């Protein structure tokens, strides 16, 4: 084995090791997110939904002619409707305001905002590693298959007949991987077929 081949094998092994190390980190990050959501985030929001569901910040007013108009209560200015001339507007806006305040009270008491931020942080960690994996050239066929499953496998589809459109940045990298491995495989098959034909 000459030095050039030896260096290429070492580089290939190093790239493979780095890719699979990142893959293990991605799986650990995915499990951390799933564990956090199932143990902390989801129970908090289920409890809020049970005791004080997030209210719609709108109320409806029906005019004398039967036309219904929807009005919004701004959560940053909950008392904007307090001085409205119509008692109906004031009452309906107050119902929305009180429901929102109850929701916010229970959310704060249960730590929903902090739980949401932590869930988002864990998701960002997983997504950053996943993005790095997709954009790193696949070191071997199993790595390419992982990418194809990520983009087109069952988890990527909402239904059996639907797959999302991925950004060109991801698709271009995966297609380059596919061309590289498939072209190499096809070259070997052509050489083997030529040898068999001559034999």
Report domain extents, the chain: 1-136, 137-198
pLDDT tens per residue, range 24-61: 999 999 999 999 999 999 999 999 999 989 999 999 99
Are 99 and 136 in contact by the 8 Å Cβ rule? The answer is no
Could you tell me the two tokens for 92? 């309906």
CA-to-CA distance for 171 and 147, rounded, in angstroms? 10
**Surface-to-core class of residue 166, CB atoms within 10 Å of its CB (0-12 exposed, 13-18 middle, 19+ buried):** middle
Residue numbers of the chain with a pLDDT score lower than 70: 1-12, 157-165, 184-199
Identify any residues that bridge with 68 across adjacent strands, giving them in sequence order: 62
């Amino acid at each position: 084995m000459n030095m050039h081949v030896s260096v290429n094998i070492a580089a290939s092994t190093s790239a493979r090791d780095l890719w699979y190390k990142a893959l293990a980190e991605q799986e650990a990050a995915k499990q951390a997110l799933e564990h956090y959501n199932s143990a902390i985030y989801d129970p908090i929001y289920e409890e809020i939904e049970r005791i004080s569901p997030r209210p719609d910040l709108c109320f409806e007013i029906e005019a004398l002619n039967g036309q219904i108009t929807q009005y919004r209560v701004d959560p940053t200015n909950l008392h904007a409707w307090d001085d409205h001339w119509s008692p109906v507007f004031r009452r309906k806006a107050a119902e929305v305001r009180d429901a929102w305040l109850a929701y916010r009270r229970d959310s704060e008491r249960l730590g929903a905002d902090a739980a949401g931020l932590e869930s988002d942080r864990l998701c960002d960690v997983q997504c950053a590693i996943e993005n790095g994996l997709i954009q790193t050239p696949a070191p071997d066929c199993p790595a390419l298959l992982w990418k194809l499953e990520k983009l087109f496998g069952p988890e990527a589809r909402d239904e059996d007949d639907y797959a999302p459109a991925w950004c060109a940045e991801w698709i271009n990298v995966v297609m380059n991987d596919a061309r590289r491995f498939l072209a190499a495989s096809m070259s070997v098959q052509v050489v083997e077929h030529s040898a068999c034909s001559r034999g």
